[in-house]
Amino acid sequence: MSGDVRRALVASTTPGARAAEDRLRGAYDFVPLADAEMVIALGGDGFMLQTLHHMLENRSIMPIFGMNLGTVGFLMNEWRLERLEQRIAAAKPFKVSPLRMTVTTIDGEELSLPAINEVSLLRETRQTAKLEVAVNDRVVIPELVCDGVLVATPAGSTAYNLSAQGPILPLGSGLIALTPISPFRPRRWRGAILPENTRVTFRVIDPQKRPVSAVGDQREVRDVSHVAVSIDRTTPLTLLFDPEHTLDDRIAAEQFIT
């Protein structure tokens, strides 16, 4: 990517990110987001997801180069003030196709929301959730009794999915992870790895007594009755990484952390 592209700069509200924003604006030229060809994002993974969702909602899909001023920074590059143009010119693009969850609530409301990391279904009360799970419209688990269940992309497989003992998926693998959260029955089921063109649907059994919420990354819909999850290929996102520290390298390294 050329280093002379029109860049917009966005930052999280943390003091560290705001201080870095001031330093960058003093050293480089930036344009308003509406006039930009790419975005520089300062913050952590949560802010990166927030920025990507903003781009999806506004249909302003453009490459994004993140610099870590948060905690984990899995989706970010190292923060450095120097040589920004050279880093952008040498950056390696990686395309991420988000999930799309289509939700029906118990009141009959229908919503469609994107998720870059994962879609999770979670119990709302002390009552365990009871879910029917179907893959490509074929019921594979008539009754999953659990705290919840999630569907994760490769980019999100090292986030909530990994904490729930789900598998790490290499980027470009063409796979998604279906991972239960504290399953009670079937107790020995540990999830599944599925082709990315799979459509996974969940039906909440007895949603009035055992209410369930559906969460796409950071956006929650409560009291759901049905949720369908599939890859949305219409809005691919492009993340830019320094050549020496790409996202697939990070995912591979995560498998050796003890």
> How far is it, in rounded angstroms, from Cα 117 to Cα 157?
7
Tell me: is residue 160 an annotated ligand-binding position: yes
Tell me: is residue 118 an annotated ligand-binding position: yes
Candidates 4, 29, 45, 248; catalytic one: 45
Tell me: is residue 197 an annotated ligand-binding position: no
Tell me: is residue 132 an annotated ligand-binding position: no
> How far is it, in rounded angstroms, from Cα 189 to Cα 257?
24
In degrees, to the nearest 5, what angle opens at C-alpha 256 toward C-alphas 250 and 258? 120
Tell me: is residue 159 an annotated ligand-binding position: yes
Tell me: is residue 46 an annotated ligand-binding position: yes
Kindly provide the b/e burial profile for residues 36-67, where b requires at least 16 CB atoms within 10 angstroms of the residue's own CB. bebbbbbbbbebbbbbbbebbeeeeebbbbbb
> How far is it, in rounded angstroms, from Cα 51 to Cα 39?
9
Find the helix or strand (DSSP H, E) in which 221 lies: strand 219-221
Block residue for tokens 């966005």: 10
Is residue 45 annotated as a catalytic residue, yes or no?
yes
| Phi, psi angles (nearest 5°) of residue 182 | 50, 65
Tell me: is residue 124 an annotated ligand-binding position: no
Tell me: is residue 41 an annotated ligand-binding position: no
Tell me: is residue 102 an annotated ligand-binding position: no
Tell me: is residue 162 an annotated ligand-binding position: yes
Could you tell me how far CA 143 lies from the centroid of its own chain? 27
Tell me: is residue 155 an annotated ligand-binding position: yes
Cite the beta strand spans of 79-208 per DSSP E. 92-96, 99-105, 110-115, 118-123, 129-135, 138-152, 175-185, 192-195, 200-204
SS (H, E, C) 195-218: ECCCCEEEEECCCCCCCEEEEECC
Q: In this structure, are residues 8 and 40 in contact, taking their beta carbons and an 8 Å threshold?
A: yes
Tell me: is residue 45 an annotated ligand-binding position: yes
> How far is it, in rounded angstroms, from Cα 28 to Cα 99?
35
Annotated binding site for NAD(+): 45-46, 117-118, 147, 155, 158-163
Residues classed as catalytic: 45
Annotated binding site: 45-46, 117-118, 147, 155, 158-163
